[in-house]
C-alpha cells in the first residue's frame, strides 16, 4: 500500500513496501490495476478449491479411522469425468483474464510520449533520455547515509533507506512512457512493484515495456535478478511529476542535473 506523506510543501505519494506488509503495493499504473483484478479473481476461485480439498481430506480421515477394509474401487466413470472437466472449466476461467492482462502488458503503444533507455550496471542504473534536442543520460546510485544532507533527502518517509537514490528516473504522470531495458554487464532485473513492472535487463538485448503512472509521486523498486556483490544495493526510484514540471526539469537536466533535481525537489507545487 502506498502512503501519502507531507514532505515540506509537497504532498507526495510514496510507492514503497510497508513494515510487515503481506499484500501487494497499491497499484499506480493501469497494468498493475489489471494484475490486481486478476489476482482477486483467481483468489475467488482458489479459496473454494482449497476449502473443498481440506474438507475432503478431513472426511476421508474421519471415515477411515480404525477401518482396515481399504476401498478397492478401480473405476468410476462419473468421478473420473468430474475431475477431468471441473479443472478444465476452472482453468479456462482463469485463462481468459490472464491472457487479457498479458496482452495488455505486452501491447506496443504506438505513440509513447517519451522513450527512456534503462541500462543496468553492476551496481547502478543509467537512464538515457532521447527527445529531439534533448539527449542526455545520467547514473542513479543508491543514496548513502552521508549524502542525505548534500542531496536534501533527509525525510526518511520520502527517501527510505536502501531504496532512495541520488537521482531518480523522472517521468511525466499520466503519459505513456516506453522503457527500453538492457544491461552492460550481467543480467539484472528492472522491477517496480506498484507499476506491475518486472523486466530482465540482458546484455546485448533490448527488452521493452511501457508504463503510465496515474498518480504523481515517488515509486520504489529494486534489481530483481541476482547480479553479484551489491545486488541488494541498486534500488530503482521513479519520480512521476506533472507535465509542466517535467518540461522544466527536462530543460535544466540536459545542462545541469543538480539544478534540475533541485528545482523539482523544492517546488512549491503540490504534487
Interacting residues toward Cu ion by CB under 5 A: 188, 223, 227, 234
d(CA 186, CA 171): 26
**To the nearest whole angstrom, how small is the minimum distance from the Cβ of residue 194 to Cu ion?**
19
Closer by beta carbon to Cu ion, 28 or else 181: 181
**To the nearest whole angstrom, how small is the minimum distance from the Cβ of residue 3 to Cu ion?**
27
**To the nearest whole angstrom, how small is the minimum distance from the Cβ of residue 221 to Cu ion?**
11
What is the CB neighbour count within 10 angstroms for residue 178?
Answer: 17
Closer by beta carbon to Cu ion, 35 or else 223: 223
Closer by beta carbon to Cu ion, 186 or else 257: 186
- Across the chain, the runs of DSSP E, i.e. the strands, are 3-7, 10-15, 114-121, 124-131, 134-140, 169-172, 177-183, 188-192, 197-201, 207-211, 217-223, 235-241
> If we measure between CA atoms, which residue out of 154, 114, 145, 107 comes closest to residue 241?
114
**To the nearest whole angstrom, how small is the minimum distance from the Cβ of residue 148 to Cu ion?**
23
Closer by beta carbon to Cu ion, 193 or else 217: 193
**To the nearest whole angstrom, how small is the minimum distance from the Cβ of residue 111 to Cu ion?**
31
Give me 128's grid cell: 538515457
Contact assessment for residue 227 and residue 188, using Cβ atoms and an 8 Å cutoff: yes
d(CA 199, CA 208): 8
Closer by beta carbon to Cu ion, 90 or else 187: 187
Give me 49's grid cell: 478449491
The whole-angstrom distance between residue 57's C-alpha and the CA centroid of its chain comes to 38
> If we measure between CA atoms, which residue out of 27, 48, 45, 46 comes closest to residue 36?
27
Per DSSP, the three-state class of 65 is coil
Sign of the CA dihedral with 124 first, then 11, 269, and 244 last:
positive
The whole-angstrom distance between residue 125's C-alpha and the CA centroid of its chain comes to 16
Closer by beta carbon to Cu ion, 1 or else 232: 232
Per DSSP, the three-state class of 237 is strand
**To the nearest whole angstrom, how small is the minimum distance from the Cβ of residue 244 to Cu ion?**
34
**To the nearest whole angstrom, how small is the minimum distance from the Cβ of residue 205 to Cu ion?**
15
Closer by beta carbon to Cu ion, 148 or else 231: 231
Closer by beta carbon to Cu ion, 10 or else 166: 166
**To the nearest whole angstrom, how small is the minimum distance from the Cβ of residue 190 to Cu ion?**
9
Amino acid at each position: 500500500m502506498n502512503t501519502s506523506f507531507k514532505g515540506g510543501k509537497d504532498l507526495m505519494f510514496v510507492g514503497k513496501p510497508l513494515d510487515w506488509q503481506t499484500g501487494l503495493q497499491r497499484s499506480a499504473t493501469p497494468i498493475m490495476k489489471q494484475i490486481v483484478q486478476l489476482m482477486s479473481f483467481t483468489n475467488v476461485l482458489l479459496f473454494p478449491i482449497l476449502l473443498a480439498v481440506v474438507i475432503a481430506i478431513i472426511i476421508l480421515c474421519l471415515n477411515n479411522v480404525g477401518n482396515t477394509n481399504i476401498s478397492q474401487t478401480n473405476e468410476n466413470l462419473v468421478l473420473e469425468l468430474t475431475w477431468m472437466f471441473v479443472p478444465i472449466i476452472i482453468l479456462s476461467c482463469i485463462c481468459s483474464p490472464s491472457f487479457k492482462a498479458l496482452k495488455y502488458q505486452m501491447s506496443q503503444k504506438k505513440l509513447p510520449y517519451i522513450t527512456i533507455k534503462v541500462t543496468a550496471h553492476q551496481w547502478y542504473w543509467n537512464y538515457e533520455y532521447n527527445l529531439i534536442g534533448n539527449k542526455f543520460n545520467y547514473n542513479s546510485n543508491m543514496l548513502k547515509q552521508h549524502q542525505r544532507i548534500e542531496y536534501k533527502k533527509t525525510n526518511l518517509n520520502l527517501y527510505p533507506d536502501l531504496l532512495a537514490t541520488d537521482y531518480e528516473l523522472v517521468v511525466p504522470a499520466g503519459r505513456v512512457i516506453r522503457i527500453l531495458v538492457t544491461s552492460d554487464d550481467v543480467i539484472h532485473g528492472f522491477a517496480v512493484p506498484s507499476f506491475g513492472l518486472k523486466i530482465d535487463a540482458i546484455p546485448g538485448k533490448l527488452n521493452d515495456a511501457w508504463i503510465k503512472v496515474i498518480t504523481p509521486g515517488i515509486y520504489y523498486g529494486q534489481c530483481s535478478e541476482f547480479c553479484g556483490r551489491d545486488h541488494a544495493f541498486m534500488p530503482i526510484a521513479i519520480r512521476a511529476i506533472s507535465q509542466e514540471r517535467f518540461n522544466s526539469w527536462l530543460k535544466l537536466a540536459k545542462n545541469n542535473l543538480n539544478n534540475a533535481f533541485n528545482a523539482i525537489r523544492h517546488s512549491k507545487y503540490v504534487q
